[in-house]
Copies of this chain bind each other. A is one copy, B any other.
Amino acid sequence: MQNAFHNISTNNKKKLLSLLESKVTHFTKNSSILNNYTNENIVGIIEEGTVQLIKTADNGNRTIIQELSTNEVFTTDVNTFFNDTDIIALEDSKIIIIDYDYIIENLDNNKDYFNQFIKNLFVIMNEKILEKNERIQILTKKTIRNKFLEYLNLQSRSKGSRNIYLPYNYKDLADYLAVDRTALAREISILKKEGFIETKGKKITILFDKKNKF
């Protein structure tokens, strides 16, 4: 994921943040970031710490949608988040909060560092769109088996390898695929018995796959 301040000097970063009237806000561990900005669209950039986008299910289970660290960006929208969704600081964090409208208003600006920042945000937004497309592509598959295989396909494709290293644990994978963890374990077990895949901890190897001609 692109860094929002890629190719921007520390000095210019300061100028930029002052131009955008951004505020660096401290959030203590486990505090809610979203609660403070329910009436405006903001762009948040993690300066220090870790932040999690969390959704609380009907039964009270909380699942992590996304985890963001230093220099990563999140955007919020008044209409998107409510009730069951929140953004919380996983540890004490410093977050740069920018009013979305300030960015739009400053687009006429012709300062070098601002243009670089916009360029970066552009790349980041595009990345986010494509990332979400991928997730939707997976979620629209109708069985756990197909969701999981689609996940493997996309990973394998983007890495150009039949070996996939899970970036998180199986519990989180189940959350990402929006399925029950134990049901996923069952399907993975079946796929192994069928000789489709091999697993060793978080390494999954696709043995063969007719669809993608492995």
Contacts and interface: CB of A to CB of B under 8 A. Distances in A.
A136 B129 CA distance: 12
Interface string A136-150: 110111100010000
13 contacts: A55-B137, A75-B130, A85-B137, A100-B126, A107-B115, A107-B119, A108-B115, A125-B129, A128-B129, A136-B139, A139-B139, A139-B178, A142-B178
Nearest to A100: B126
Contacts of A110: 110
A83 B135 CA distance: 16
A148 to B, nearest CB: 14
Report copies per complex: 2
Contacts of A161: none
Contact of A107 (B58, B122, B130): B122
A139 to B, nearest CB: 4
A110 B108 CA distance: 7
Given A107-B115, A108-B115, A118-B118, A130 B55 contact: no
A135 B136 contact: yes
Nearest to A84: B137
Contacts of A119: 104, 107
A51 B126 CA distance: 20
A157 interface: yes
